[in-house]
Amino acid sequence: MVIKEAVSISADVKPRPVVYIISDSIGETAELVVRAAASQFNGGNVEIRRVPYVNDTSEIPEIVEEASHFNSLIAYTLVLPILRETIAAEAKKHGVITVDIMGPTLDALTQLEGRQPKLEPGLVRKIDQEYFRKVEAIEFAVKYDDGKDPRGITRADLVIIGVSRTSKTPLCMYLAHKSIKVANVPLVPEVAPPEEIFSLPHHKVIGLTISPSQLNEIRQERLKSLGLTSHADYASMERILKELDYAKKVMEKAGCPIIDVTNKAVEETASRVMEIYYKGERLGR
């Protein structure tokens, strides 16, 4: 029996027309189209039989031959021309009605785009999966921002460490849009860093540093935006040097790569981070 799945639109037990849905993926698209069309006939009193993952011409004759024994039609979403041609030929031989849902749209878009399609089954689902991975990574970056929850360190693809105002959060969000789950941990002399960062593979922890003078400027601007005096200890050169020295020692202990973000755009830093991360993943470090 070739049918992988059968779904009834109506509970009516009388003999009904049968719509065979043949797809090189799971057949969701064709089923939605058939259901939408059937709704114009009060549900159409039709039975839907889905035949997913058809990727070989040798599978088609048996399916069409079976369909010929019913009052049926075949709706199909197949990207490979050879599969569409085989169905058309077999259906003509057996007198079965067919509806090519994908083919005409592919042909029209080929004319519009002026180039050939990839002809790779299941790309919509791959795109959807990529989208959801990106959303998950963004949610992860928000949840584990600024060391809010140390559990994020062991769950992250990457951990960014550095003193305040080294663009850790913007960097994490940028990387999240690349579907990388990133947590960040601020380094403060008065607070011991989470021990977890010292047990991670070196390429999964990235330290950020910056020139003292630029950090001083950034912090002074931050204080002004908050309506505070620029002479606060947070922006003093003495405090900045102390923090940077402390952060350097933590990074050296972690054995992680260190990136100087002085005068660098987030995109530039992210490019370097991804280079380090993916190289480490390839080498299995």
163 is in an annotated binding site: yes
84-112 CB burial, b ≥16 within 10 A, e <16 = bebbbebbeeeebebbbbbbeebeeeeee
Say how far apart CA 183 and CA 180 lie, in whole Å: 10
* DSSP line for 197-212: GGTS-GGGEEEEE--H
230 is in an annotated binding site: no
Say how far apart CA 162 and CA 210 lie, in whole Å: 9
Say how far apart CA 129 and CA 125 lie, in whole Å: 6
166 is in an annotated binding site: yes
162 is in an annotated binding site: yes
Task: Locate all alpha helices (DSSP H) within 58-122, ordered by sequence.
Answer: 60-67, 81-94, 103-113
Cβ–Cβ < 8 Å for 110, 137:
no
Annotated binding site: 162-169
Annotated binding site for ADP: 162-169
